[in-house]
Structure 1
């Protein structure tokens, strides 16, 4: 069932966001909701996957806190459904995972989750992670984007509209993927470590570096002719990643 915590958040603190917490553990859900409410946010809660997915679609929260182990639909199924829905494809998602579920964590990131926190976790750390994702999400809105369009080969990116195209076809990118692609296109030929990408693209000074690896792999799947033999986003072994623009030769046949 969907529940609401604190309809009227305090006026002080960060700009309030509407956050949906989907977790079937009432203790975890209550603690998370309590900390987020005290941080100034409005919180909705759902205790199973089907109600949670329906709430995410109906209420359009600013961010989703999603437990992976849920009755009805699990968290990965919810992620797949949201990322396949154009209206919700860029909804920021922070996953809650069990400590040993590394495979599920990686799959969640591959499906488009923006960050994750492992159980047991510090509620204060979770709030910091959530607000870091919210800051990036708000900064990414068209009104806040001063940068002009970028064209590189058959890639075209418009930060104002938050849209990217390859060979004239629109790419369905998550918030993290869009920011990463925009950064790489604006810095061709420069090698960046995973730590540098985390800090300069997403403003994170902590987190799992495998997050960068996963997003690089997802981008390659969307912009490379052969993701297994990338030409655009290249790995510089022992250092990091580099974007190399490729000028495709025109067919000389008249």
Structure 2
């Protein structure tokens, strides 16, 4: 989806303001267009409307979980190119397996180092052209 000089688009689905601020900072610094939604409700519609290159998706969200959103995105053929990086404070192996089984492209445990997140974002987005 990297069309010439078009900036990559990232949608942040995160309800915790302090984490969203860090993600906003990183996405700005990396030169990505980005937006945020703070609740699971409405996230799927935003993903369908915006067709982001990447969704940074919190697992534990108000109203609709990140797992449900991930599953719905993967069930929608029109969203096949959207990469999903799930984030959770419960970073157990079982949580990771569940996220990946539902179709997430990556999984990162909170709290995370910004460099770790940056590397994972680039791994997912740079894989698009491969």
1:57-136 equivalence runs, <5 A: 57-136=48-127
TM-score (norm 1): 0.47
Distance 2:96 2:37 in 1: 21
| Higher-RCO chain (CA-CA 8 Å, sequence separation at least 6) | 2
2:47 corresponds in structure 1 to: 56
Larger radius of gyration: 1
Higher-helix-fraction structure: 2
- What does 1:1-254 correspond to in 2, within 5 Å? 16-137=7-128, 139-140=129-130
**Pairwise CA RMSD:** 1.6
Q: Are the aligned partners of 2:74 and 2:80 in contact in 1 as well (CA < 8 Å)? A: yes
Displacement, 1:124? Answer: 2.0
Alpha-carbon offset, residue 127 of structure 1: 1.3
Separation in structure 2 between the aligned mates of residue 58 and residue 72 of structure 1, nearest angstrom: 20
In 2, the alpha carbon distance for the partners of 1:112 and 1:100 equals 17
Q: Please, which runs of 5 or more residues in structure 1 have no aligned partner?
A: 1-13, 141-254
Query: Structure 1 100/127 Cα, relative in aligned 2: closer, same or farther at 3 Å?
Result: closer
Taking the aligned partners of 1:99 and 1:109, their CA distance within structure 2 comes to 14
Check whether the contact 1:97–1:105 (CA below 8 A) recurs between aligned residues. Answer: no
Paired residue total: 126
Given that 1:65 and 1:94 are in contact with CA atoms closer than 8 Å, whether structure 2 keeps it comes out as: yes
Unaligned runs of 5+ in 2: none
By how many angstroms is 1:81 displaced? 0.5
**TM-score (norm. length: structure 2):** 0.90
Judge conservation of contact 1:99–1:120 (CA < 8 Å) in 2: no
Q: Tell me the CA shift for residue 50 of structure 1.
A: 1.5
User: What is the CA–CA distance in structure 2 between the aligned matches of 1:135 and 1:94, rounded to whole Å?
Assistant: 14
